[in-house]
Amino acid sequence: MKKAIVTTSFPGAVANKQTGVEEITQAYLADYAKKVNADFIISKNLQDYNELSLLPNTEEQANARLIGVCRWVINARVNAFRTLVKDGYDQILFLDKNVLILEHAEDIFTYAPTKVAAFNEGRFVDAHGKLNAGQSLKAMHTYALQKNRERVFFGLPEIKITQDYYNTGVYLLSAASGLCNPPAIYFSSPMFDQDHWNWELYEKDVSPTSLPRSFNHMLWEKFEDTLSYKPFFLHYAGIPYEYDLLTMLKKHITLLSEEGLIDASKAFKSVSPNAILE
Protein backbone atom coordinates (compact mmCIF):
# COMPACT_ATOMS: atom_id res chain seq x y z
CA MET A 1 0.00 0.00 0.00
CA LYS A 2 1.45 3.35 -1.08
CA LYS A 3 0.83 6.03 1.56
CA ALA A 4 1.26 9.80 1.74
CA ILE A 5 1.01 12.35 4.53
CA VAL A 6 0.21 15.84 3.28
CA THR A 7 0.33 19.15 5.10
CA THR A 8 -0.22 22.66 3.80
CA SER A 9 2.25 25.51 4.13
CA PHE A 10 0.50 28.83 4.84
CA PRO A 11 2.30 32.06 3.96
CA GLY A 12 2.53 34.51 6.85
CA ALA A 13 0.22 37.08 5.22
CA VAL A 14 -2.70 34.75 5.88
CA ALA A 15 -1.47 32.79 8.87
CA ASN A 16 -1.18 35.87 11.13
CA LYS A 17 0.26 34.86 14.51
CA GLN A 18 0.31 31.21 13.50
CA THR A 19 3.26 31.99 11.24
CA GLY A 20 6.21 29.70 11.91
CA VAL A 21 4.16 26.94 13.55
CA GLU A 22 5.01 24.55 10.71
CA GLU A 23 8.71 25.02 11.48
CA ILE A 24 7.99 23.07 14.67
CA THR A 25 5.28 20.63 13.63
CA GLN A 26 6.76 19.54 10.29
CA ALA A 27 9.82 17.99 11.93
CA TYR A 28 7.63 15.68 14.01
CA LEU A 29 5.35 15.01 11.03
CA ALA A 30 8.32 14.01 8.87
CA ASP A 31 9.58 11.61 11.55
CA TYR A 32 6.13 10.07 11.87
CA ALA A 33 5.91 9.59 8.10
CA LYS A 34 9.12 7.55 8.21
CA LYS A 35 7.82 5.57 11.16
CA VAL A 36 4.66 4.50 9.28
CA ASN A 37 6.40 4.10 5.89
CA ALA A 38 4.59 6.99 4.23
CA ASP A 39 5.86 9.77 1.99
CA PHE A 40 5.84 13.28 3.44
CA ILE A 41 4.34 15.90 1.09
CA ILE A 42 3.99 19.69 1.47
CA SER A 43 1.22 21.41 -0.50
CA LYS A 44 1.41 25.15 -1.13
CA ASN A 45 -1.09 25.96 -3.90
CA LEU A 46 0.57 29.30 -4.61
CA GLN A 47 -1.69 30.15 -7.57
CA ASP A 48 -4.79 30.67 -5.40
CA TYR A 49 -2.70 32.36 -2.72
CA ASN A 50 -1.30 34.86 -5.23
CA GLU A 51 -4.85 35.73 -6.31
CA LEU A 52 -5.88 36.13 -2.68
CA SER A 53 -2.93 38.42 -1.92
CA LEU A 54 -4.19 40.88 -4.55
CA LEU A 55 -7.38 41.59 -2.58
CA PRO A 56 -7.21 44.72 -0.40
CA ASN A 57 -7.17 43.91 3.28
CA THR A 58 -10.11 46.18 4.08
CA GLU A 59 -13.41 45.76 5.91
CA GLU A 60 -15.28 46.06 2.59
CA GLN A 61 -13.27 43.17 1.16
CA ALA A 62 -13.44 41.01 4.30
CA ASN A 63 -16.03 38.59 2.91
CA ALA A 64 -14.23 38.35 -0.42
CA ARG A 65 -10.99 37.56 1.39
CA LEU A 66 -12.72 34.89 3.50
CA ILE A 67 -14.10 33.27 0.35
CA GLY A 68 -10.60 33.53 -1.14
CA VAL A 69 -9.05 31.73 1.84
CA CYS A 70 -11.73 29.01 1.62
CA ARG A 71 -11.03 28.59 -2.11
CA TRP A 72 -7.30 28.46 -1.48
CA VAL A 73 -7.34 25.77 1.22
CA ILE A 74 -10.01 23.69 -0.54
CA ASN A 75 -8.14 23.74 -3.85
CA ALA A 76 -4.84 22.96 -2.14
CA ARG A 77 -6.34 19.72 -0.83
CA VAL A 78 -8.23 18.89 -4.05
CA ASN A 79 -5.16 19.44 -6.24
CA ALA A 80 -2.89 17.49 -3.92
CA PHE A 81 -5.35 14.59 -3.73
CA ARG A 82 -5.74 14.39 -7.52
CA THR A 83 -1.99 14.57 -8.10
CA LEU A 84 -1.21 11.86 -5.55
CA VAL A 85 -3.97 9.56 -6.79
CA LYS A 86 -2.52 9.93 -10.28
CA ASP A 87 0.90 9.08 -8.84
CA GLY A 88 -0.43 5.78 -7.50
CA TYR A 89 -0.99 6.50 -3.80
CA ASP A 90 -3.63 4.31 -2.14
CA GLN A 91 -4.13 6.14 1.18
CA ILE A 92 -3.62 9.87 1.69
CA LEU A 93 -3.60 11.52 5.10
CA PHE A 94 -4.20 15.27 5.20
CA LEU A 95 -2.97 17.06 8.32
CA ASP A 96 -3.45 20.70 9.26
CA LYS A 97 -0.17 22.42 9.99
CA ASN A 98 -1.22 22.95 13.62
CA VAL A 99 -1.16 19.21 14.38
CA LEU A 100 1.69 18.10 16.64
CA ILE A 101 2.49 14.36 16.51
CA LEU A 102 3.87 12.79 19.68
CA GLU A 103 6.59 10.16 19.93
CA HIS A 104 4.37 7.22 20.91
CA ALA A 105 1.79 7.80 18.15
CA GLU A 106 0.46 4.58 16.63
CA ASP A 107 0.00 3.97 12.91
CA ILE A 108 -3.12 5.80 11.75
CA PHE A 109 -3.03 3.88 8.47
CA THR A 110 -4.26 0.77 10.29
CA TYR A 111 -7.65 2.48 9.94
CA ALA A 112 -7.24 2.48 6.14
CA PRO A 113 -10.81 3.25 5.07
CA THR A 114 -12.64 2.25 1.91
CA LYS A 115 -13.58 5.93 1.61
CA VAL A 116 -12.53 8.22 4.47
CA ALA A 117 -11.65 8.18 8.17
CA ALA A 118 -12.04 11.18 10.50
CA PHE A 119 -12.81 12.11 14.10
CA ASN A 120 -16.52 12.69 14.68
CA GLU A 121 -16.27 15.93 16.63
CA GLY A 122 -20.04 16.47 16.64
CA ARG A 123 -20.81 13.35 18.64
CA PHE A 124 -17.95 13.55 21.08
CA VAL A 125 -18.73 13.52 24.79
CA ASP A 126 -15.87 13.09 27.24
CA ALA A 127 -16.15 9.76 29.03
CA HIS A 128 -15.02 11.28 32.32
CA GLY A 129 -17.69 13.97 32.23
CA LYS A 130 -15.14 16.77 32.33
CA LEU A 131 -16.48 18.42 29.21
CA ASN A 132 -19.25 18.27 26.69
CA ALA A 133 -17.61 19.17 23.44
CA GLY A 134 -20.20 17.55 21.20
CA GLN A 135 -22.82 20.25 21.62
CA SER A 136 -25.14 19.60 18.68
CA LEU A 137 -22.80 20.86 16.00
CA LYS A 138 -24.59 21.27 12.68
CA ALA A 139 -23.32 19.32 9.74
CA MET A 140 -23.44 22.56 7.80
CA HIS A 141 -24.14 26.08 9.08
CA THR A 142 -23.49 28.15 6.00
CA TYR A 143 -23.87 27.40 2.35
CA ALA A 144 -24.05 29.42 -0.82
CA LEU A 145 -26.31 29.37 -3.82
CA GLN A 146 -25.66 31.10 -7.08
CA LYS A 147 -28.65 33.03 -8.40
CA ASN A 148 -28.54 35.59 -11.17
CA ARG A 149 -24.75 35.39 -10.98
CA GLU A 150 -24.79 36.64 -7.40
CA ARG A 151 -23.60 34.78 -4.34
CA VAL A 152 -26.32 34.54 -1.75
CA PHE A 153 -25.28 33.62 1.79
CA PHE A 154 -27.68 32.34 4.38
CA GLY A 155 -27.72 30.12 7.45
CA LEU A 156 -29.34 26.72 7.14
CA PRO A 157 -30.79 25.90 10.58
CA GLU A 158 -32.68 22.94 9.12
CA ILE A 159 -29.49 21.18 8.09
CA LYS A 160 -28.99 19.75 11.53
CA ILE A 161 -29.14 16.24 10.05
CA THR A 162 -27.55 14.49 13.05
CA GLN A 163 -24.82 15.38 15.48
CA ASP A 164 -22.30 14.00 12.99
CA TYR A 165 -19.74 16.67 12.21
CA TYR A 166 -16.22 15.61 11.32
CA ASN A 167 -13.06 17.50 12.08
CA THR A 168 -11.09 17.42 8.84
CA GLY A 169 -7.77 18.68 10.19
CA VAL A 170 -6.86 14.98 10.37
CA TYR A 171 -8.48 13.43 7.28
CA LEU A 172 -7.53 10.02 5.90
CA LEU A 173 -8.76 9.40 2.35
CA SER A 174 -8.75 6.35 0.13
CA ALA A 175 -7.70 7.03 -3.45
CA ALA A 176 -10.86 5.18 -4.54
CA SER A 177 -13.19 7.23 -2.32
CA GLY A 178 -14.62 9.48 -5.02
CA LEU A 179 -14.34 12.31 -2.47
CA CYS A 180 -12.23 15.49 -2.22
CA ASN A 181 -13.92 17.38 -5.04
CA PRO A 182 -14.17 21.15 -5.55
CA PRO A 183 -17.56 22.71 -4.74
CA ALA A 184 -19.97 24.06 -7.33
CA ILE A 185 -19.49 27.41 -5.63
CA TYR A 186 -17.12 28.57 -2.93
CA PHE A 187 -18.83 29.88 0.18
CA SER A 188 -17.79 32.00 3.10
CA SER A 189 -17.45 29.99 6.29
CA PRO A 190 -15.74 30.62 9.63
CA MET A 191 -14.76 26.94 9.56
CA PHE A 192 -13.07 27.45 6.16
CA ASP A 193 -12.83 24.19 4.21
CA GLN A 194 -14.17 21.97 7.00
CA ASP A 195 -17.78 22.85 6.29
CA HIS A 196 -17.25 22.01 2.63
CA TRP A 197 -15.88 18.55 3.38
CA ASN A 198 -18.76 17.86 5.77
CA TRP A 199 -21.22 19.04 3.15
CA GLU A 200 -19.61 16.70 0.61
CA LEU A 201 -20.01 13.77 3.03
CA TYR A 202 -23.67 14.67 3.48
CA GLU A 203 -24.39 15.07 -0.22
CA LYS A 204 -22.72 11.75 -1.06
CA ASP A 205 -24.26 9.99 1.96
CA VAL A 206 -20.85 8.86 3.21
CA SER A 207 -20.36 7.69 6.79
CA PRO A 208 -16.64 7.94 7.55
CA THR A 209 -14.68 5.39 9.51
CA SER A 210 -14.52 6.94 12.96
CA LEU A 211 -11.05 7.81 14.26
CA PRO A 212 -10.54 7.78 18.04
CA ARG A 213 -9.90 11.11 19.70
CA SER A 214 -6.28 10.11 20.33
CA PHE A 215 -5.60 10.78 16.63
CA ASN A 216 -7.22 14.22 16.74
CA HIS A 217 -6.98 15.49 20.30
CA MET A 218 -8.14 19.09 20.32
CA LEU A 219 -7.39 21.18 23.38
CA TRP A 220 -10.85 21.20 24.95
CA GLU A 221 -9.51 20.96 28.49
CA LYS A 222 -6.56 22.46 30.33
CA PHE A 223 -3.26 21.42 28.80
CA GLU A 224 -2.16 19.78 32.05
CA ASP A 225 -5.27 17.56 31.88
CA THR A 226 -4.54 16.78 28.24
CA LEU A 227 -1.26 15.13 29.23
CA SER A 228 -3.11 12.47 31.23
CA TYR A 229 -4.80 11.27 28.02
CA LYS A 230 -1.43 10.65 26.33
CA PRO A 231 -2.85 11.49 22.88
CA PHE A 232 -1.10 10.61 19.63
CA PHE A 233 -1.92 13.79 17.66
CA LEU A 234 -2.39 17.14 19.41
CA HIS A 235 -4.52 19.41 17.24
CA TYR A 236 -4.40 23.13 18.04
CA ALA A 237 -7.74 23.78 16.35
CA GLY A 238 -9.90 26.71 17.34
CA ILE A 239 -7.00 28.74 18.77
CA PRO A 240 -7.91 32.37 17.91
CA TYR A 241 -5.61 33.91 15.32
CA GLU A 242 -4.69 36.74 17.68
CA TYR A 243 -3.03 34.19 19.99
CA ASP A 244 0.69 33.64 19.61
CA LEU A 245 0.47 29.94 18.82
CA LEU A 246 4.20 29.63 18.22
CA THR A 247 4.96 30.70 21.81
CA MET A 248 2.24 28.37 23.10
CA LEU A 249 3.71 25.45 21.17
CA LYS A 250 7.21 26.08 22.53
CA LYS A 251 5.86 26.04 26.09
CA HIS A 252 3.86 22.87 25.47
CA ILE A 253 6.81 21.06 23.89
CA THR A 254 8.81 21.72 27.06
CA LEU A 255 6.00 20.22 29.16
CA LEU A 256 5.58 17.28 26.79
CA SER A 257 9.32 16.64 26.87
CA GLU A 258 9.29 16.53 30.66
CA GLU A 259 6.60 13.84 30.44
CA GLY A 260 8.63 11.85 27.91
CA LEU A 261 6.01 12.34 25.20
CA ILE A 262 8.17 14.25 22.73
CA ASP A 263 11.81 14.94 21.90
CA ALA A 264 12.20 18.70 22.27
CA SER A 265 15.47 18.69 20.33
CA LYS A 266 13.58 17.96 17.10
CA ALA A 267 11.70 21.28 17.18
CA PHE A 268 12.80 23.62 14.36
CA LYS A 269 14.76 20.80 12.76
CA SER A 270 14.89 21.30 8.99
CA VAL A 271 13.01 18.69 6.98
CA SER A 272 13.20 17.41 3.42
CA PRO A 273 9.77 16.38 2.12
CA ASN A 274 9.45 13.72 -0.57
CA ALA A 275 7.67 16.32 -2.70
CA ILE A 276 6.39 19.92 -2.67
CA LEU A 277 3.17 20.56 -4.57
CA GLU A 278 2.76 24.14 -5.77
Domains and CATH numbers, the chain: 3-277 (3.90.550.10)
Query: What count of Cα atoms within 13 Å lies in the side-chain half-sphere of residue 274?
Result: 17
The pLDDT value recorded for residue 29 is: 95
Q: pLDDT-based confidence at 204, cuts 50/70/90?
A: confident
Question: How far is it, in rounded angstroms, from Cα 69 to Cα 14?
Answer: 8
Q: pLDDT-based confidence at 241, cuts 50/70/90?
A: low
Q: Strand 166-174 and strand 209-210: pairing?
A: unpaired
More confident residue, 92 or 273: 92
The whole model's pTM is what? 0.83
Question: How far is it, in rounded angstroms, from Cα 88 to Cα 85?
Answer: 5
Task: Say if residues 164 and 139 touch (Cβ distance below 8 Å).
Answer: yes
Picking from 39, 42, 44, 53, the residue whose alpha carbon sits closest to that of residue 76 is 44
State the average pLDDT for the chain: 77
Task: Say if residues 211 and 124 touch (Cβ distance below 8 Å).
Answer: no
Task: Say if residues 189 and 196 touch (Cβ distance below 8 Å).
Answer: yes
